[in-house]
A = this chain, B = another copy of it.
Amino acid sequence: MNRKKIVILGAGYGGMITTVKLQKMLGTNDAEITLVNKHDYHYQTTWLHENAAGTLHHDRTRIKIADVVNLNRVNLVQDTVVAIEQDEKKIKLENGELTYDYLVVSLGFEAATFGIPGLLEHAFTIGNINSARLIRQHIEYNFARYNNEKEERPELLNIVVGGAGFTGIEYVGELVNKVPELCKEYDIPREKVRIINVEAAPTCLPGFDEELIEYTMNYLESKGVEFKLGTMLKQVSADGVLVEKDGVQEEIPSQNVVWAAGVRGNSLVEEAGFESARGRITVGEDLRAPGYDDVFIIGDCALVMNKETGRPYPPTAQIAMQEAEVTAHNLKTLVQGGDKLEAFKPDLKGSVASLGHGQAIGVVFGGKKLFGMSAVIMKKIIDNRYLLKLGGLGLLLKKGKFNIFK
């Protein structure tokens, strides 16, 4: 038997869809498929902000890999990737080593901290299940501390969110629902709590339609969110942040700083020596790494240029999943001896940002704008379609979101 070895690194959106597709498309004799992941579960990165706010339990967000991947067909190696050695076709793991014939790198994102002093040490990033539930507990712990202190300590109650992009805005939307619950739990007047959103761009949700932006800001401000737009985060310390707008600096006391203002590809792909910028590799049309015909890069580590706009596609779950489908198809072709690979052509369906319970905004590509409940419904449809694609009706019923009021 001369079965090809396919190794998939990372069980995010891209890695999971690739694996699930391959286990259907390839026969047992075609290839040996190995999925490497840190945990025995997959999680929905796009739901993590809800776990970090505490409005959705993380067990709703994560899915046991064994529940959707057939472990008789796929080897699951629960380990951490230490290095990719593409010239030797080897993967170094914390507890072992793997060789491959074909590799799929779907290692996801890291927070981009832009060298802001203190950010790494004192701010939290919503990166995975562990960090999301830590943020939830961190904020709740500070609320619990508040009434035990002899002096007023506003830094315990002020929540600073860095970034008013997609994740930042969605997280703030959840906080708006969570904060009143925390106030009730710990006997704290709501007006003592500030939710402050700091964004360097002159607007929230840069790139979105103006009407949608206005709707978003009006809604969130009506719930007490303070926007500091056109404002740079200069420094984070143990007790607060220093921001600057138009040359004027301001200190905001806060021990609850959440950084949601930038992502970059996994630094392992840089260290491996692939040509990359901020951890993202500009891949070919067939999603292979330049110079390495046996390596596919998808998801947040891949940079795919949109020829029409001359700009790269954003690193979204939607794109990662579509890349995964093309990758699975191309791997099948290669394994079965073909060489005509499919080119990736994204089919952008739309984009919806949730703003907490019963509120959202979005756009369906083609141009239709969505506000409020219609956007909420669209968001649930997107989330539920993914579950259906990943694990069928069983998974949808188990993990789907059906209550449009929550």
Contacts and interface: CB of A to CB of B under 8 A. Distances in A.
Interface of A: 130-131, 133-134, 136-138, 140-141, 144-145, 147-148, 185-187
A26 to B, nearest CB: 32
A137 B137 contact: yes
A187 B59 CA distance: 11
A64 to B, nearest CB: 12
B140 A145 contact: no
A144 B141 CA distance: 11
Contacts of A131: 148
A58 B187 CA distance: 11
Nearest to A140: B137
A187 B131 CA distance: 13
Contacts of A140: 137, 141
B133 A144 contact: yes
A128 to B, nearest CB: 9
A137 B131 CA distance: 17
B148 A144 contact: no
B130 A134 contact: no
Contacts of A186: 133
Nearest to A41: B187
Contacts of A185: 133
A138 B148 CA distance: 12
Contacts of A133: 144, 185-186
A132 to B, nearest CB: 10
